[in-house]
Amino acid sequence: MNLLTVSAEEVERCLPYDECIPLMREAMIALSQGRTRQLLRHILDLSEGRAFGSMLGAMLDDGTFGAKLVSVYPENFAKGGHSHQGVVLLFDGATGAPSAALEAGTITAIRTAAASAAATDALARTGARRLAILGYGEQAWRHVEAIRVVRDIEQVTVWGRSAERAEAFASRVQENGLAATAMSDARQAVAEADIVCTVTASPEPILLGEWVADGTHVNAVGSSRAGPAEIDNDLVVRSRFFADHREGVLAQGAEFLRARAAGRVDDSHVLGEIGEVMAGTLEGRRSERDVTIYKSLGNIAQDLAAARHIVARLGREDRR
């Protein structure tokens, strides 16, 4: 078996945001147009808050199919390591043979932020300049990097439970050419934001609807399963709410599920998928005052699109 293995360093080099953001847009359109197949993610709970997940899918345009297997060890972040570790496996559509194994943690980190950036480009006001990040882990940093590609960000505010880590994060943003301030509470962090990204592991809401100004776009990213919820029912109710994958959000989107269980919304509140907005078949933002939410669970179509791109780029480099 001739299996290509791709390291985290190669993933990082071959998946820059200016290439990955269009890839995610194309993948989400393909998903919404029925040009992909995927199963809902399966999550096996382990001890001490850890988990093991699997995602399977196929891209029908060229027959590429594969899977992502990933472990989630939240405590790794405090030790300077990655919380998400695993592999993306690609199979050859012509022979059915495994063709590539790619490091999954970096693919997940980059494609998640790139998908949020693509959604932000589709839903946020064109003049959005102020970005609030709730959280300070790897996804927080990735979202700053990705969203500044699609909007001219001038100011970043950050909040997290550790004031010291929030300050360190703000300093890192400043060192990379953006004005940034660590805030003492989440309400203060989002008060003047045009774009808000929630990228925490919080089991309970850390962003409330009453705090969010009219016209704000929210990327709700941190919770990728039923259970932990980062935003409250009020924010879900007042928003134009879009899914990365509608079936997935109806089954596993914690924030939506909590609002539905409370009788505040029904399934029709999930207006559709972000791929439909990107394709122009579904209305996204209707006015400057709309609050929009992109609920990101992550999808195997995103992983396969990223992995396919990386493998193709490495192949072109080898042929030079």
Q: What is the CATH number of the domain that holds 90?
A: 3.30.1780.10
Same structural domain, 279 and 161:
yes
Same structural domain, 231 and 309:
no
DSSP percent split of the chain into helix, strand, coil, nearest 5? 40, 25, 35
Same structural domain, 184 and 265:
yes
In the predicted model, what is the mean pLDDT of the chain? 96
Strands 98-103 and 84-91, bridge-based pairing: antiparallel
pLDDT band at 261 (very low <50, low <70, confident <90, very high): very high
Provide the pLDDT for residue 80: 77
**117 domain-assigned:** no
Provide the pLDDT for residue 162: 95
Asked if pLDDT for residue 320 goes beyond 70, the answer is: no
**160 domain-assigned:** yes
Which tokens sit at 275? 């791929």
**Which amino acid is located at 141 in the chain?**
W
**144 domain-assigned:** yes
**134 domain-assigned:** yes
- In this predicted model, what pLDDT tens digit does every residue of 120-161 receive, in sequence order? 999 999 999 999 999 999 999 999 999 999 999 999 999 999
- To the nearest 10°, report the CA torsion of 141, 259, 71, 222: 0
Q: In the block, which residue shows the tokens 């929630």?
A: 198
Mean pLDDT over 160-172 rounds to 97
Which residues, in sequence order, are CB contacts of 78 under 8 Å at separation 6+?
Answer: none
What SS3 state is found at 141?
Answer: helix
Same structural domain, 291 and 306:
no
Provide the pLDDT for residue 213: 98
Same structural domain, 103 and 131:
no
- How far apart CA 79 and CA 83 sit, in angstroms, is 10
**Which amino acid is located at 284 in the chain?**
G
Provide the pLDDT for residue 317: 86
**87 domain-assigned:** yes
Same structural domain, 292 and 170:
yes
Q: In the block, which residue shows the tokens 């935003």?
A: 231
Asked if pLDDT for residue 247 goes beyond 80, the answer is: yes
Percent above pLDDT 70 for the chain: 99
Distances (CA, A) of 220 to 175, 232, 256: 26, 11, 11
Asked if pLDDT for residue 31 goes beyond 80, the answer is: yes
Same structural domain, 230 and 307:
no
Asked if pLDDT for residue 269 goes beyond 80, the answer is: yes
Which residues, in sequence order, are CB contacts of 96 under 8 Å at separation 6+?
Answer: none
User: CB of 203 within 8 A of CB of 227?
Assistant: yes
Same structural domain, 156 and 262:
yes
Same structural domain, 166 and 293:
yes
- How far apart CA 287 and CA 122 sit, in angstroms, is 13
Asked if pLDDT for residue 77 goes beyond 90, the answer is: no
Mean pLDDT over 264-270 rounds to 98
pLDDT band at 319 (very low <50, low <70, confident <90, very high): confident
Same structural domain, 242 and 315:
no
- How far apart CA 257 and CA 205 sit, in angstroms, is 13
**215 domain-assigned:** yes
- What is the total count of domains within the chain? 2
- How far apart CA 182 and CA 199 sit, in angstroms, is 15
- In this predicted model, what pLDDT tens digit does every residue of 281-308 receive, in sequence order? 999 999 999 999 999 999 999 999 999 9
In terms of residue numbers, what domain contains 243? 125-299
Percent above pLDDT 90 for the chain: 91
pLDDT band at 263 (very low <50, low <70, confident <90, very high): very high
Sign of the alpha-carbon torsion through 148, 150, 152, 155: negative
Same structural domain, 41 and 156:
no
pLDDT band at 1 (very low <50, low <70, confident <90, very high): low
Asked if pLDDT for residue 65 goes beyond 70, the answer is: yes
- How far apart CA 208 and CA 231 sit, in angstroms, is 6
- In this predicted model, what pLDDT tens digit does every residue of 39-54 receive, in sequence order? 999 999 999 989 999 9
What SS3 state is found at 169?
Answer: helix
Which tokens sit at 192? 């003047």
**233 domain-assigned:** yes
- In this predicted model, what pLDDT tens digit does every residue of 181-237 receive, in sequence order? 999 999 999 999 999 999 998 999 999 999 999 999 999 999 989 899 999 999 999
